[in-house]
């Protein structure tokens, strides 16, 4: 069905199409009947052999939704029903902000890629936390009943399903905050969402907020991770991950991994979008912003291999994951899980069921007990 609808969606401005899709999923998330239908059509069941343990959390399968698709966490139950093993929302900032001027999102259909310069457009950390408290409550938190009491705030949405998978919150720096104030800015955002997140991610690698990537340097990254440790002492332990840029040199990648390991990070996400431009065939290839999708795949694999050869920290691999073979190969290269975004845009809601079914078939063909056995020992 998606292959019939996609040409119509692709005639629309990319951000308009994205808003329509998220709007539809947001409505679906409010109905147990619709989320149940989505699960039956697309989600399927998760074979026990696909389950993964990482960062002290249990994931029903190793394929997660990357940050950026559901910035404000409006459709978590719908994405859960579609079969994702985890859902990462954001990037969210301490205060709501509009992001960069439109147009700021471009399709590269001939390359199966996207270029974006969104600039962390989102409704703010407090609004996201209130919404997650209702639509995706943590197992150890009482479910919010704001929808029952007639509340009209951002959390006042009846959920379509209970949380089934871990939900991560990806946190970025507000555009209005200087680099000198970044620690306080991140702390404010983290504090707002901390109790509603299963894990948290420092986004210090987006190319679309001026100066943000400077926060991957040793001293600022140490300060950010120190702020997270202080919050953990106050609010309770949460796994905190760091998301890396693919445009770092090998020496810089290893340095970030060392700082993360020395300062309590639970893992790494590799990688964010790239400002580099491999040969591309699509019309908008020259647009500024971060490139994602298939053109990023080779660099994402290279960064993954660099990290897993150097650090014991778990690594989540992102960038150009399209097939079950891609998933298998990333796990064999040392990734604990993968995330998808651009591939989902091109392949649609049936992607997850296909990936999981094909991954089980690969395990059977290769005589592998489970996905955890794919990782090097």
Q: pLDDT value at position 29?
A: 95
Q: pLDDT value at position 139?
A: 78
Q: Is 20 helix (H, G, I), strand (E, B) or coil?
A: helix
Residue range(s) defining the domain that contains residue 259: 2-374
Query: C-alpha distances in angstroms, 22 versus 19, 105, 332, 372?
Result: 5, 15, 33, 32
Burial group, residue 225, by CB count within 10 angstroms (0-12, 13-18, 19+): buried
Q: pLDDT value at position 158?
A: 45
Burial group, residue 64, by CB count within 10 angstroms (0-12, 13-18, 19+): buried
Number of domains in the chain: 1
Q: State which residues of the chain have pLDDT below 50.
A: 143-161
Q: What is the pTM of this model?
A: 0.94
Q: Is 206 a catalytic residue?
A: yes
Going by C-beta distance under 8 Å and a sequence separation of 6 or more, which residues neighbour residue 69? 18, 22, 341, 344, 345
What's the CATH code of the domain at 370?
Answer: 3.20.20.70
Separation of alpha carbons 55 and 239, rounded Å: 6
Other Cβ atoms less than 10 A from the Cβ of 181: the count is 12
DSSP-H helix ranges across 276-323: 297-308
Q: Which of 144, 205, 206, 292 is catalytic?
A: 206
Separation of alpha carbons 59 and 316, rounded Å: 13
Going by C-beta distance under 8 Å and a sequence separation of 6 or more, which residues neighbour residue 12? 20
Query: C-alpha distances in angstroms, 283 versus 6, 106, 111, 190, 315?
Result: 19, 9, 10, 39, 33
Helix (H) or strand (E) run with residue 177 in it: none
140: nearest Cα among 182, 195, 191: 195
DSSP-assigned beta bridge partners for residue 115: 106, 291
Q: pLDDT value at position 142?
A: 52
- Token readout for 74 is 């409006």
Q: pLDDT value at position 141?
A: 64
Q: pLDDT value at position 163?
A: 59
Q: Give the phi and the psi of residue 205 in degrees, each rounded to 5.
A: -135, 5
Residue 271: is the preceding peptide bond cis (ω within 30°)? yes
Over residues 185-239, the pLDDT tens digits come to 999 999 999 999 999 999 999 999 999 999 999 999 999 999 999 999 999 999 9
Q: pLDDT value at position 345?
A: 97
Separation of alpha carbons 56 and 147, rounded Å: 31
Separation of alpha carbons 285 and 200, rounded Å: 32
Q: Is 17 helix (H, G, I), strand (E, B) or coil?
A: helix
């Amino acid at each position: 069905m998606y292959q019939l609808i996609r040409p119509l969606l692709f005639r629309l401005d990319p951000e308009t199409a994205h808003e329509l899709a998220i709007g539809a999923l947001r409505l679906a998330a409010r109905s147990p009947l619709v989320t149940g239908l989505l699960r039956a059509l697309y989600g399927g069941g998760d074979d026990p052999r696909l389950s993964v343990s990482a960062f002290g959390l249990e994931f029903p399968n190793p394929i997660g939704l990357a940050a950026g698709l559901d910035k404000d966490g409006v459709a978590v139950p719908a994405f859960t029903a579609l079969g994702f093993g985890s859902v990462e929302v954001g990037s969210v900032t301490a205060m709501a902000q509009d992001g960069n001027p439109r147009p700021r999102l471009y399709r590269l259909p001939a390359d199966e890629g996207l270029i974006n310069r969104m600039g962390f457009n989102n409704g703010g950390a407090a609004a996201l936390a209130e919404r997650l408290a209702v639509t995706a409550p943590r197992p150890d938190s009482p479910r919010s009943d704001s929808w029952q009491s007639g509340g009209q705030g951002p959390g006042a949405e009846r959920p379509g399903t209970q949380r089934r998978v871990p939900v991560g919150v990806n946190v970025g720096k507000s555009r209005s905050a200087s680099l000198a104030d970044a620690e306080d800015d991140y702390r404010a955002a983290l504090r707002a969402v901390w109790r509603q997140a299963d894990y948290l991610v420092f986004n210090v690698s987006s190319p679309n907020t001026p100066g943000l990537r400077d926060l991957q340097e040793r001293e600022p990254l140490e300060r950010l991770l120190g702020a997270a440790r202080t919050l953990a002492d106050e609010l309770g332990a949460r796994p905190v991950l760091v998301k890396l840029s693919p445009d770092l040199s090998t020496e810089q990648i290893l340095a970030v991994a060392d700082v993360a390991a020395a300062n309590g990070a639970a893992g790494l996400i590799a990688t964010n979008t790239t400002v580099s431009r491999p040969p591309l065939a699509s019309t908008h290839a020259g647009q500024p912003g971060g490139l994602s999708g298939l053109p990023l795949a080779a660099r994402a694999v290279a960064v993954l291999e660099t990290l897993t050869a150097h650090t014991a920290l778990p690594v989540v691999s992102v960038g150009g994951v399209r097939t079950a073979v891609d998933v298998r190969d990333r796990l064999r290269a040392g990734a604990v899980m993968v995330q998808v975004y651009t591939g989902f845009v091109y392949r649609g809601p049936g992607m997850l069921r296909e990936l999981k079914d094909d991954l089980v078939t690969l395990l059977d063909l290769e005589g592998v007990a489970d996905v955890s056995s794919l990782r090097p020992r």
